[in-house]
Each structure stands twice: as structure tokens, then as C-alpha cells.
Structure 1
Amino acid sequence: MPRPPSDRPVRIADAALELIATSGLHAVTHRAIDSHLGYPQGTTSYYARTRAELLTRATELLAERFDAKIDVTALDDVRTDDEAIAVIVGMMRRLQDAESDQIAHYVLLIELRKDPELAALLGAASPARRAMHRMTAQLIERCGYTDAEEHASGLLALLSGLMLARLTGNQQVPVESAVATFWGGMRRPVRP
């Protein structure tokens, strides 16, 4: 009878993300992950031969988790500004709940910015970021605002800044009031 697939590749990628979040990218080595997981030496090397492969797996896992957090929003029910703001604030709270992943995300964004392949998994052109941009633009359009694409970019930049402020200052950031203030500054079309 064949052996069931191992969950080790996911556990290894998760351990890499934990090490990145707690100790920085330099801490991610095959030996450190084996030690962190209590695996025999060489186990991580079996599943990810190189450090680049290890970082790729960790980055892919992070992108999957990010997708899962933003994909749960139903836009069809949104009719008002308050409902749209609530959707965005809810999404931001789900992302904040995964603090370790967010720290790893920012570390990877900075450290891997010159690696086109890995940066593409997390940066502005990543599938998750594009999906978040589309969702935000749709919310803005549903509420009758012009320049939805431009406003979505600005709102996502604001959210990114709020997340970074929270992570670096260990402070509560007024997400709802910041989003409501941004939302209130958008333009609606002039009706003739």
C-alpha cells in the first residue's frame, strides 16, 4: 500500500515563515528548520535542496494564506459606504490576526525585492495583491465613486501603512476611522 503524502513540506515552509518573523531572513537555514521542527538533520534538505527553494516554498505558502484571508468577502451584498468600509476593515482585521505572517511578509518584501521571481509572489503585481485591488475597486464602484482604480491603489497603500505602523509600534491603529476618512475624501460623479 502506498504511503500517504507527507505534510512535511508545508510544515517546513511554515517553520521558515516563523523564523523569518521572529529572527529575520538570515535565520532561515536548513539546519535551523530541522532543529525548530525537531526533525533529524537533513530532513529539510530532502524537501528543499537549496535555500532559494526553501524561500520559494515559504513565499508560496504565505501567498496562499494571504489569498485565503481576502477571498472570504461577499461583495454582492454591499450597497452602502458603511457596508463597504466594514468589508475593508474586516479584511484588515483578518490580516492583522496573522501577525507573524504579516511580519514575514514585510521582511520578504524588503529582502526579496531584487529577486523578480519571488518578489512577484508578494509584491504589487502578485495574484493576491491584484485580487485585493480588484475587490477594493469593485467596492468603490458599487458605492458610486469615480476613479475606482486610483482610489483602490491609494486605499491599499493606506492599509499597508497602517499595518506596518501596527507591526513596528506594537500599537492599536485606528483602522476604521482611517478607512472612513479616506472613503469620505473620494469623489462621486457630478450629476447633471
Structure 2
Amino acid sequence: MVRTNPERRNALLDASIEVLAREGARGLTFRAVDQEAGVPAGTASNYFPNRDALLVQTGNRYYERLLPSDEALAKSRGPQTRETMTALMTEVVDRVSHFRAGYLASLELRLEATRRPELQALLTERVRADLDFNIANYRESGLPGDENAVITLYLALNWLILDRLTLPGIFDEHQAADLVRTLVDRALPQQ
């Protein structure tokens, strides 16, 4: 019988994120998730019929937890300047960087997606939707340029986050903030 307690389901998915970040995809077992969540053995298998379902739902949970605040969303809409765009991109880098386990787990999920079509479809859909959302906001911003500015920032900032989380000695917080400013200046055409 499949359990439907949403709080416990989320606790299991949060535990899955932690296991993925710490142990990698090979370490993600139902037993490891149960232990991380502090629940009786067999609990995760009551919620997820198989490992593929657990991976897909973990991907969904990562995106749920990464959603920006209503305040950040409000700031991303409407007219923008280079300064407000820099502040928005800094907020994104900070928000993602502070969810270290989530970002590392998402990297593991992306690797697993090369072997699991359902997971690949989910991640492709979520990333494409994020890009489309950001491109639409950029078009409304009044800033010069096209969707390539958004894509350039997406690619560069993701790599900056990756370096900050996996090789923290390369860029400290101050350098990261300077790099965000530089990336925005270079990605956005001059008016």
C-alpha cells in the first residue's frame, strides 16, 4: 500500500537529496534514504515503487525547494537596469549556492538522466521552462539584446556556482559577486 502523507514524502525526498549530494547516485538506495530521514526501514519503498520513481520525484523536489521567493519573483518582472539585473543574478547565485546539497544532487540527477529517459524528460522540461521564464522576463525588462544574453548568463552562472560548490578555493564570495557583475556587463549589449 502506497502511503500518502505529504510531509513524510517530502522528508524522504529531502533525505534523497542529501544522500545524492553526499554519496552520489550509486549510494541512493531505499535503505540509505530511510536512514537519512530517520524513519523505519522499508518506509521509502512504501512511497516510491522503484528507484526510477525515487529519482524523478527527487528531481521534482529539488526544483520545488529552489523556487525564488515571491519578493525575488516580483523584482524579476518589469523594467530593469544593469544594476537591478546584477542584483537579480547575484540573488540567484546566492540562493542556489546556499542549497549546496540540492545543487550537487542535481548534478548527480543530470548524470543519471543520460541513462534514464523519464528523468531526462523531467529535467529537460524543468530547465527549458526556467529558461523560457527568464527569457520572457528579459524581453519585458526593457534591456537591450535578445535571448542569447539570458542563455549566456545561464551558462556562465551555472559554471560559477559549480566551481563555488565543488572547488570553493577558486572564487570567494567577494570574487563571485565581482564576476556576476562582470558577466552581466558583458552579456548585456550596451544601450
User: By the TM > 0.5 criterion, same fold?
Assistant: yes
Alignment of 1:29-40 (within 5 A): 29-40=29-40
Q: Which amino acid aligns with 1:152?
A: V
Figure out how many residues of one structure are paired with residues of the other and give that number: 183
1:126 is aligned to: 125
CA shift at 1:37, angstroms? 2.6
Unaligned runs of 5+ in 2: none
Deviation at 1:92, TM superposition (A): 1.6
Q: Tell me what 2:165 maps to.
A: 167
Q: Show the counterpart of 1:89.
A: 90
Tell me if the contact between 2:81 and 2:143 (Cα under 8 Å) persists in the aligned partners: no
Q: Report the alpha carbon displacement of residue 30 of structure 1 after superposing the two structures with TM.
A: 1.1
Answering whether residue 49 of structure 2 is matched by residue 49 of structure 1, we say: yes
> What do the CA deviations read for 1:102-148 (whole angstroms, capped 9, x no partner)?
111112112223323212333xx3335533453256347624312x2
| Contact 1:19/1:27 (<8 A) preserved | yes
- Counterpart-to-counterpart distance in 2, 1:108 and 1:81: 33
Q: Does 1:20 align with 2:16?
A: no
Flag the 1:101–1:37 CA change in 2: closer, same or farther, 3 A: same
Q: What are the ranges of 5 or more consecutive residues in structure 1 without an aligned counterpart?
A: none
CA distance in 1, matches of 2:37, 2:83: 45
CA distance in 2, matches of 1:177, 1:137: 26
Which amino acid counterpart does residue 12 of structure 2 have in structure 1? Answer: I
Q: CA separation in 2, counterparts of 1:32 and 1:136?
A: 39
Give the SS at the match of 1:69: coil
Give the RMSD, CA atoms, in angstroms: 2.6
More off after superposition, 35-44 vs 19-28 = 35-44
- Kept in 2: contact 1:73–1:87 (CA 8 A): no
Q: Please list every run of at least 4 consecutive aligned residues from structure 1 whose deviation after the TM superposition is greater than 4 angstroms.
A: none
Code of the aligned partner of 2:63: A
Cα displacement string for residues 128-183 of structure 1 (whole angstroms, at most 9, x for unaligned residues): 5533453256347624312x211111110001110111111123253332232233
